A = this chain, B = another copy of it.
Amino acid sequence: MENQEHQNDIFFSDEERQALYKTIFSRRDVRGQFKPDPIPDAVLSRVLYASHHAPSVGFMQPWNYVVVKSNEVKQKVHSGFRKAHEEAANMFDSEKSKIYRTLKLEGIIESPINICITCDRTRTGPVVIGRTAIDTMDLYSSVCAVQNFWLAARAEGLGVGWVSIINEEALQEALAIPKEIVPIAYLCLGYVSHFHNKPELESAGWLDRMPLEDLIYFDQWKNSKTSETSPLISQIKEDSDFPKING
């Protein structure tokens, strides 16, 4: 007899697993390729459900979704971006500042829908299972909801751009979000002309992708191993072109 409390299919087929990796490796932060095409409600509903099924500490589900289509509201957010962007440009040394100013960093106006994912830290009361020792856990839950949203959007052929160059206060003001609610991510959403093969900052030579094997320690911080001493490191080096699924 079937146990209704257990999932029936623990294992995924190779094709299913491959589809997840395809999503993860082809997801991009999109700034410049948005098309005005409307997003069907059936698609948006799926993406939002995916986000809503993120893990959350103590099952508190601290997120809300502010769906922005109003041009007036977008303009306010964009003005907050411009202010923060100008402040940021002056923080880099002159060479980096020059590159920085050429980068397209948001698609607030062009994307048909913007969505702000928030964190209500008071949801379900002051004491939350799993948030008693690390009080940022609720913020982290909303970030997981952002990542689920992003991946589902990618699988639906939708680009997502996370606008982080804006003060939280400017976002709160533009969207009438109360002080005690944290705006975790302001996302631009829309169909795109194309997805880049690589992150734009990588292609622009801003930074390289770090070799994964350099990021792995064993049992203690800084305790690294070589291919000679660790089969895992050897495997990771062997897999170094694994993510190039769009070749």
- From 168 to 227 in chain A, residues with beta carbon under 8 angstroms from any chain B beta carbon are 168, 175-178, 181, 184-185, 192, 194-199, 201-203, 206-207, 209-210, 212, 215-222
Chain A, interface size category, equals 35 or more
CB distance from A122 to the nearest CB of B (A): 14
- B23 and A12 contact, CB distance less than 8 A: yes
**With A and B bound together, what is the CA distance between A167 and B137 in angstroms?**
12
CB of A11, distance to nearest CB on chain B (Å): 5
| Whole-angstrom distance between the Cβ of A121 and the nearest chain B Cβ | 13
Which of A54, A96, A215, A220 gathers the greatest number of chain B CB atoms within 10 Å? Answer: A215
**B29 and A55: CB pair below 8 A?**
yes
- Identical copies of this chain, number: 2
Q: Pick from B44, B61, B147: contact of A143, CB below 8 A.
A: B147
Chain B residue with minimal CB distance to A199? B59
Most interface-central of A19, A66, A137, A167 (chain B CB within 10 A): A19
Identify A41's interface contact among B25, B212, B231, CB under 8 A.
B231
CB 8 Å contact bits of A144-183 with B (1 = contact, 0 = none): 1011101110011100001011111000000111100100
Contacts of A1 in B (CB 8 A): none
> Can you add 5 more A-B contacts, CB < 8 Å, to A21-B46, A42-B239, A64-B215?
A10-B195, A25-B53, A67-B219, A129-B206, A139-B140
Q: Which residues of A does B touch, CB under 8 Å? A: 3-12, 15-17, 19-27, 29, 41-42, 44-46, 48-50, 52-55, 57-61, 63-70, 73, 84, 87-88, 91-92, 96, 100, 103, 105, 124, 127, 129-134, 136-137, 139-140, 143-144, 146-148, 150-152, 155-157, 162, 164-168, 175-178, 181, 184-185, 192, 194-199, 201-203, 206-207, 209-210, 212, 215-222, 231-232, 234-236, 238-239, 242-243, 246-247
A-B contact pairs, 28 of them (CB 8 A): A5-B196, A6-B197, A7-B194, A7-B196, A10-B157, A11-B157, A12-B156, A17-B155, A19-B20, A24-B50, A24-B53, A24-B148, A42-B239, A44-B235, A46-B239, A46-B242, A48-B212, A64-B216, A66-B221, A67-B218, A88-B129, A105-B130, A132-B165, A133-B168, A139-B140, A140-B140, A143-B144, A175-B220
